Structure 1
Amino acid sequence: MKMILDLDTGIDDGMALAYVLGSEDIELLGVVGTYGNVYTENGVQNVLNILEMCQAPSIPVYEGEKHAIKKSGFLRLEVSARIHGENGVGQVSMKKAQRRKEELSGVDFLISAVKKYKKDLVIAATGPMTNLASAIIKAPEIIEMMGPVVIMGGALTIPGNVTPYAEANISQDPYAAKLLFESGVDVTMVGLDVTQRSVLTKESTGKWRETGSVAGMVFADMVDYYIGEHDSSVGGCFLHDPSAVAAAKNPKWFQMLPMHMTVVTEGEAAGRTIGSQERLREGNPNVKVCIGVDDKAMEKDLDDTLQNLFIRCGKARED
């Protein structure tokens, strides 16, 4: 499977990136950074650092959009800085990568990759949908070429996590999410309905630490910080962004409901992902909404995949 990640890195984005790096059946073609958990430039640097630490320095990294389509700037939320740390990776110190981002913009990279790989390309987006929407606006011809797009965002049957209506990624740019949902692209929405069913505990981070690799210890510290920012009743941390990768990698683990989806873009309910009454009778759903997950299978696969990645990183460093 050929994949591009669109991340606002972010601790759980970092986990999603490591999950892809450790999955032998996924070929990561590149990573596009965006805003959300962090400012775009910080997220791009976090990706570069993680790739170098995980012995994957050849994967190109591109800088995406810095704010929502209909806004002139972006101000990081206080809650994002608290949950992910000021540096986006739980205040953990990471060696700064020597290489820099690519010159090509993230939006132009998405356009060129879709034109090259067409339906064979999977795009997993775990931040705001701004880069994808901007690519569609700039080159609408790619709509017919695009393969599956799997997003972490939204909520269908439960309240949002930033307002009673809205989940964080969608709330950052409701207009972009609406445009993506209604574009005709094959979209799978992995929302809070399922991402809050899968939990990673300190038992896993303990195993990563035992690998003795720098990557294992850094990720263990990052995720322990993230666990500390969750309610103690959770018993660990939710697997928000890794769930989108899991849905692309193993869709059989997820129960999906085909629906006509839209996004509220104005007013108190801005960012709400909801069924479109106007298109209900058309008979052709536009989004597959995840409503259930085999959480045990996903938790085990993520745990095993990251542990094996960190073991390999340690061996590569020793060699």
Structure 2
Amino acid sequence: MATKKMILDLDTGVDDALALAYGIADPAIDLIGVVASYGNNLLEQTAKNSLQLLELLGQNVPVFKGLEHSSTSDHFNVMQVSKEIHGNNGIGDISLPEPTHKIQAQAGVDFIIEAAHQYGKDLIIVPTGPLTNLAAALRKDPQISHLIGNVTLMGGALTVEGNVSDVAEANINQDAKAANEVFTSSLPITMVGLDVTLRTLLTKKETAKWRQLGTKSGTAYADLTNFYIDAYYNLGIDKHGCAIHDPLAVGVAIDPTFVTTLALPMKVITEEHNYARTIGDKMKLNTSHPNVNVAINVDKERFVPSFMEHLTSLLANH
């Protein structure tokens, strides 16, 4: 299989850390850069987390800073529930060495635009946090909506309730305006939302396999994922394991057959009532070719073992 150029746009918490490892481990992916976002933590922290994890995994992938807050605010505060789920440092409060590499001087938004022009249809962008960076890139250079091969995003909920309100999922809720700009653009989008991610669970049986590898990365990834599993249990999110939200988006970006999708012209509600709801636009049902494929079912029996195989192989060697 030919490798695809991929940019991960991460607000690096625990499942983003798992997505990052997957993006490195899958031979079908050429990870050309990581753009940091606010979300699970402050921008400075999420960028540092990505650098530290890349170094832990023996990778020299450039990390760029995105935007520090949503398009409709002038600051960002980390939600208490984010700290409870991801730890105060975003990665399960594990301790990693200070990074030796530096954050790139180029702005993340400019990196996205440059890569779109350089790689065109060979470029896949996988945002696993707010869509603020991608929306800013679209505003700065609208042409990229016709250049980029695919955007596979983790966010939204169509057939199930949200996780921050009855209708809203956390990433979309961080910046509904930006999300609506992305969804209603000409970008070819696959939405990997709570509809499917909540079905893909990891347990301590899986993390024990990483710990048994006896490697630094195996131990670190077991520790940070166990923190996440415990948070899911203690907060009553799921007593059976933790959802691997962000890794599923990476998997679907490479192998769309992991999910069943429904093609819809999508929009995001930005008014107070139903704020951040991701829903089909009834005004466009008969007038446009839908640019969004919404994942509504997942082959978890195939995806979870594939994810484990890739990660265990990577973690065995670092």
TM-score interval (norm. to shorter)? over 0.9
Conserved 8 A contact 1:199-1:234: no
- The residue number in structure 1 matching 2:135 is 133
Looking at structure 1, the residues matched to 255 and 187 of structure 2 have their Cα atoms a distance apart, in angstroms, of 20
- The residue number in structure 2 matching 1:276 is 281
- The residue number in structure 2 matching 1:20 is 23
- The residue number in structure 2 matching 1:219 is 221
Looking at structure 1, the residues matched to 172 and 104 of structure 2 have their Cα atoms a distance apart, in angstroms, of 27
Partner SS state of residue 208, structure 1: helix
Instruction: Choose which of 135, 148, 153 in structure 2 pairs with 1:151.
Output: 153
1:242-281 matches, within 5 Å, as 242-281=247-286
Looking at structure 1, the residues matched to 219 and 76 of structure 2 have their Cα atoms a distance apart, in angstroms, of 32
Give the % identical residues.
44
Instruction: Choose which of 282, 286, 290 in structure 2 pairs with 1:285.
Output: 290
**Bigger CA drift: 173-182 or 281-290?**
281-290
- The residue number in structure 1 matching 2:7 is 4
Q: Deviations over 1:99-139 (max 9, x none)?
A: 11000000000000001001100000100000000000011
Q: Deviations over 1:16-46 (max 9, x none)?
A: 0001111111100000000000111100000
- The residue number in structure 1 matching 2:170 is 168
Looking at structure 1, the residues matched to 148 and 123 of structure 2 have their Cα atoms a distance apart, in angstroms, of 7
Structure 1 runs of 4+ aligned residues shifted over 2 Å read 231-234
- The residue number in structure 1 matching 2:125 is 123
- The residue number in structure 2 matching 1:37 is 40
Looking at structure 2, the residues matched to 25 and 256 of structure 1 have their Cα atoms a distance apart, in angstroms, of 22
Q: 1:286 offset after TM fit, Å?
A: 2.2
Looking at structure 2, the residues matched to 208 and 55 of structure 1 have their Cα atoms a distance apart, in angstroms, of 17
Q: 1:211 offset after TM fit, Å?
A: 0.8
Q: 1:283 offset after TM fit, Å?
A: 4.3
Instruction: Choose which of 198, 204, 207 in structure 1 pairs with 2:206.
Output: 204
1:84-95 matches, within 5 Å, as 84-95=86-97
Partner SS state of residue 229, structure 1: helix
Looking at structure 1, the residues matched to 288 and 101 of structure 2 have their Cα atoms a distance apart, in angstroms, of 49
Looking at structure 2, the residues matched to 24 and 145 of structure 1 have their Cα atoms a distance apart, in angstroms, of 24
RMSD of Structure 2 on Structure 1 (CA): 0.9
Q: Deviations over 1:212-257 (max 9, x none)?
A: 1100000000000000011375421101111100111211111010
Looking at structure 1, the residues matched to 19 and 239 of structure 2 have their Cα atoms a distance apart, in angstroms, of 20
1:62-77 matches, within 5 Å, as 62-77=64-79
Instruction: Choose which of 60, 63, 66 in structure 2 pairs with 1:61.
Output: 63
Q: 1:303 offset after TM fit, Å?
A: 0.9
So what's the TM-score if we normalise by structure 1?
0.96
Looking at structure 2, the residues matched to 307 and 71 of structure 1 have their Cα atoms a distance apart, in angstroms, of 40
- Partner amino acid, structure 1, of 2:209: K
Partner SS state of residue 279, structure 2: strand
Q: 1:9 offset after TM fit, Å?
A: 0.3
Partner SS state of residue 80, structure 1: helix
